[in-house]
Amino acid sequence: MDKQSRTRSHRVFSAIRISALSASLVRELLASGRYATARAYSSSVRRVLHFSGDEGLCFSSITPEFLKRYEQHLLCGGCRRNTVSLYLRMLRALCNRASRLGLARFPSGLFDEVFTGTDSSNKRAIPTSSVKLLRDANLCSNPGLEQARDFFMLSFYLRGIPFVDLVHLRHSDLSSGILRYRRSKTGSPLTVKIEPEAASLIRKYSSRCAGSSYLLPVITCDGASGYLQYQSALRRYNESLGELSRRLHLKVRLTSYVARHSWATAAYQSGIPVTVISESLGHTSEKVTYTYLASFNSHTLSLANRKVIGMVTQPGCGKYNKVNANLRGKYPT
């Protein structure tokens, strides 16, 4: 390519606006019913355009220096690391799309200096003692809180099914005590045996859905209107869970995803292999599953360390016998 052609090519690349490519992608997502993903892209693009102060921001402006300043702007603005990561991943996906379409060229490692991973330090699980406290709470006088509690428990009983999948379940997904559905986020098919605890709650609420194809009384229609109903229900659900957290004096504020994280952590701490937990949740990799799992408490870790040390000491050492006896049930050799 001669100098004149390279100059023309650079001008074309420089003129490609992020907002234009994003708009076309959002239209595609909406047409395919992926409303949440479309919303995430729209929100991410609004963020970066606001930061740049340029509604006509072009891909040629996206440099490692720009991204680092953008990351710091988000963090200083109060965004959590995982939220920052989401915005940056959305922007990276747009850059990748522009590159694949031949609309832009980027240096290798463009996003290497900013955080695009998952910060697992902020665990969102509650212990089984808190799950029991929530289950047994007397909420008959407040139907709204009672329903929020019941949906939380149903999510827990159905292997941590996300709220978005729970409220989109249909009567046809349930047959002979087996629930079959696809995760809205990944499309992964899941099969869940309905345990008696879940069956009781399903009967309680499905009876209110006469004439509806949906299993629970939350959504009444498909498409964009159904998505708006889901968004409204999710907001009310999280508000009610927050109120339950305060009433029960829980250390972790309940949200729609706490049931999922709590199921995963309870399974992990009961000795169920991570491979099984990952498949139960419909995760595409165990790496994702590990971000869900709360750490063992320090006492349990101390017992584990004592057992390992005991393995290299003389058998029968008196001061280790009691510790090892306590460990046999918790960590079978």
Residue 302 CA to chain centroid, in angstroms? 31
What local confidence, expressed as pLDDT, does residue 202 receive? 97
Architecture of domain 128-290: Orthogonal Bundle (1.10)
Residues 139-172 as b/e (b if ≥16 CB within 10 A, e otherwise) read beebeebbbbbbbbbbbbbbbbbbbbbbbbbeee
Q: Are 265 and 125 in contact (CB under 8 A)?
A: yes
Euclidean distance between CA atoms 71 and 74, whole angstroms: 5
What local confidence, expressed as pLDDT, does residue 122 receive? 60
Q: Are 154 and 201 in contact (CB under 8 A)?
A: yes
Q: In tens digits, what is the pLDDT along the chain, a chain of 333 residues?
A: 444 444 444 444 456 899 999 999 999 999 988 898 999 999 999 999 999 999 999 999 999 999 999 999 999 999 989 899 999 999 999 999 999 999 998 989 999 999 998 776 566 899 999 999 999 999 999 999 999 999 999 999 999 999 999 999 999 999 999 999 999 888 889 999 999 999 999 999 998 988 899 999 999 998 889 999 999 999 999 999 999 999 999 999 999 999 999 999 999 888 888 899 999 998 888 887 877 776 556 676 677 777 776 777 755 544 444 444 454 454 444
Domain borders along the chain are 3-100, 128-290, 298-330
Read off the tokens for 186.
């990944």
What local confidence, expressed as pLDDT, does residue 301 receive? 67
Q: What are phi and psi of 191, to 5 degrees?
A: -125, 125
Strand ranges inside 202-294, DSSP E = none
Please state whether the predicted TM-score (pTM) of the whole model is above 0.95. Answer: no
What CATH number is given for 3-100 in this structure?
Answer: 1.10.150
What local confidence, expressed as pLDDT, does residue 309 receive? 66
Residue identified by tokens 């050799």 is 333
